[in-house]
Structure 1
Amino acid sequence: MSKKKPLSQGQRRRMRANQEKRLQRKDSGSNASELQDSSLGPEQLGTVISRFGQHADIETESGQLARCNIRRNIQSLVTGDKVVARLAKDIETGIAGVVEAVHPRHSSLSRPDMYDGIKIIAANIDQILIVSSVVPSFTTQIIDRYLVAAEDTGISPIIILNKIDLLTDEERPEVEAALERYRDIGYPVYQVSSKSGLGVEGIKDLLNENVSVFVGQSGVGKSSLINAMMPDAELQIGDVSENSGLGQHTTTTAKLLHFASGGDLVDSPGVREFALWHLPAERVGWCFIEFRDYLGTCKFRDCKHKNDPGCAITAAFNDGKIAEDRYNNYHKIIASLDEQRHARHFRSGSDE
């Protein structure tokens, strides 16, 4: 018997869309009788704390938490969105309101999905805190990948080196020199130890009045750093479930948490790490901010910025205007893009 041909990307996408439509019809049918317009109070402003399916957990300006249905005409709703909601006049448990409209976003955080393309996972982010550490090893290549992702979103990046209590005297000069190179091109850099508390207060000041996202590889101490500033993070995650009377549907959805000292945190596995395969090489070059003065001035339009004659980027590198590790990391990222796209094509298939 012949093997079944794997479903293509388009076929899988259509199957998921049909499944979602059936679920939406089921949800709307079961909740329509619960919340008629006559049972709803006046419109008020709120913020999406988390979103799953056809429901969203909304926090009003007065601090009230409520699980709400989402009007069908709302095409996109994610954690951090500012919304107009109407809550039920008599709230006990269950669905307690309706999201009527969404305000325009001043920023959005997306991640590429192997099957669904680009997905928005959070909105109205003010800054991305890129966490690195000296253990297991300090590397500028990882920092540069996150900087490219941050620059692509237009959200301000801040570099944080964690676990500096483990930095040896032999390692210190090289690490300090690398961090100084980032300062020289305009990036804020902070050094902290979530274990000893060194530098943590300075990070708290950064977070005040801002909506922030922490990103970084596993093992750099993101969770420890967040816990040092937000000891009750786990309690906050459970607040909405307790107030609404409904359990969280998933632990992978993005959530908006509040720092006691001021400011908010968007926490989700989906925003902690980035992939770059969706970016064209030209965009990656633009995301290296010190390249921008030279982009478009190379002799050839399709210049690869390596061994091409008349390359303005290579000339700037040779003149010491672009750091060696940044120049090399750019080419490593470009080399990895084709590999990642090939892996995506192999995994997803295509009928286009």
Structure 2
Amino acid sequence: MPKRRLSARQIERIKTIQERRRERLATRPERALAETDAEVEPEEGRVVVRHGANLAVENAEGRVVHCLCRQNIGHPVCGDRVVWQRTANGQGVVTAILPRASELSRPDYSGRPKPLAANLTRLVVLVAPEPEPSGYLVDQYLVAAEIIGVEAILVGNKMDLLSGEARGAFEARFAHYPTIGYPTYWISLREPGSVATLSEALAGETSVLVGQSGVGKSSLVKALLPDREVQIGRLSEATGLGRHTTSAATCYRLRGGGSLIDSPGVRSFRLGDISRDALERGFRELRPYLGKCRFNDCRHDHEPDCAVRRAVDEGLIAAERLANFQHLLG
């Protein structure tokens, strides 16, 4: 059956209704603040859930409060430190976003960076025997970590799928990463001790897991958060978000201290446009050789007297890393 076409009047009426809804949503925080006792002092907190216009903010005592966000202060994301004010109904309004120590973002449909999480200290890059790992994708994640100034670690998940020589060969493919300073962990959910070792490495950090689809990110999140359902219940009860809590960007507490941010947006994370200088900084092992090539604009490709290619020939830089640099340089 063909779809019924809307008349111009119907289209205009729908637009009017949508605009009214947007206006009501925009004025909700202002109305809530207007009803608040003027003597209520602003507080600092951290955004632990973000779902549309609804925020769950954790205060200094660990209590979670359902907040709305004031207009024209920007777009808070999970992990943001914010200033908020308690309202008459026992909820709150976020009135300011504090400066971010770090920000993980990905390009939106127009190519502009869209923040996914804030104030991270650790980026956990997952690979697995299945699906076939992409070193090119791994290097994009590591470049992103270098640019935003957070530590990165590499985690090989599902290692129970391999044994003997096959496992040794798989680990050898990534042997150059610990050499250049990226800690590497080989784990399996069937080996609780390996997961415990990773959990210890994340203690005290604010981490996010990234990796291509199928590497077991969701299962690993559950293993790292055995009380995840309890935390979800606590957040749902405090905010009234209910089932949305499981589908929204959420900051969970880790058993050993620290936090793990689980964000749906990370599933489609990709590196946006970056400058050549930023890209060179993103490959940490290139740094000692930058500025030592014959040509200032050396692309480290086929130019003579290239210090970077000389380092590759001497085994000081992995050839595949340079190839990925060239690919990203375009």
Q: TM-score, normalised by structure 2?
A: 0.84
CA distance in 1, matches of 2:239, 2:138: 40
CA distance in 2, matches of 1:49, 1:21: 29
CA deviation map 1:222-243 (0-9, x unaligned): 1111111213334534543332
What is residue 342 of structure 1 aligned with on the other side? none
Query: Is residue 132 of structure 1 aligned with residue 127 of structure 2?
Result: yes
CA deviation map 1:176-229 (0-9, x unaligned): 333332111111111111233241111111222211101111111111111112
What is residue 115 of structure 1 aligned with on the other side? 110
CA distance in 2, matches of 1:149, 1:160: 17
| RMSD over aligned Cα atoms | 2.7
Query: Is residue 100 of structure 1 aligned with residue 95 of structure 2?
Result: yes
Query: Is residue 191 of structure 1 aligned with residue 190 of structure 2?
Result: no
Structure 2 residue identity aligned to 1:71: R
Report sequence identity in percent: 39
CA gap 1:20/1:208 in 2 versus in 1, 3 angstroms: farther
SS at match of 1:141: helix
Query: Is residue 302 of structure 1 aligned with residue 285 of structure 2?
Result: no
CA distance in 2, matches of 1:108, 1:21: 31
CA distance in 1, matches of 2:272, 2:28: 41
Q: How does 1:194-343 map to 2 (within 5 A)?
A: 194-247=189-242, 253-335=248-330
CA distance in 2, matches of 1:122, 1:162: 23
**Conservation of the 8 A alpha-carbon contact between 1:252 and 1:270:** no
**Conservation of the 8 A alpha-carbon contact between 1:40 and 1:86:** no
Q: CA deviation at 1:326?
A: 1.7
Structure 2 residue identity aligned to 1:44: E
CA deviation map 1:263-285 (0-9, x unaligned): 21111121244322412344223
Query: Is residue 25 of structure 1 aligned with residue 23 of structure 2?
Result: yes
- Unaligned runs of 5+ residues in structure 2 are 1-16
Structure 1 residue identity aligned to 2:63: Q
SS at match of 1:199: helix
CA distance in 1, matches of 2:310, 2:162: 35
What is residue 143 of structure 1 aligned with on the other side? 138
**Conservation of the 8 A alpha-carbon contact between 1:39 and 1:89:** no
Structure 2 residue identity aligned to 1:81: D
Number of equivalenced pairs:
313
**Conservation of the 8 A alpha-carbon contact between 2:293 and 2:307:** yes
CA distance in 2, matches of 1:250, 1:90: 21
- Unaligned runs of 5+ residues in structure 1 are 1-18, 336-352
SS at match of 2:300: coil
Q: How does 1:59-78 map to 2 (within 5 A)?
A: 59-78=58-77
CA distance in 2, matches of 1:178, 1:258: 33
CA gap 1:187/1:155 in 2 versus in 1, 3 angstroms: same
Query: Is residue 82 of structure 1 aligned with residue 81 of structure 2?
Result: yes
CA distance in 2, matches of 1:55, 1:228: 28
What is residue 56 of structure 1 aligned with on the other side? 55
SS at match of 1:286: helix
CA distance in 1, matches of 2:217, 2:194: 14
Structure 1 residue identity aligned to 2:100: R
CA distance in 2, matches of 1:150, 1:23: 39
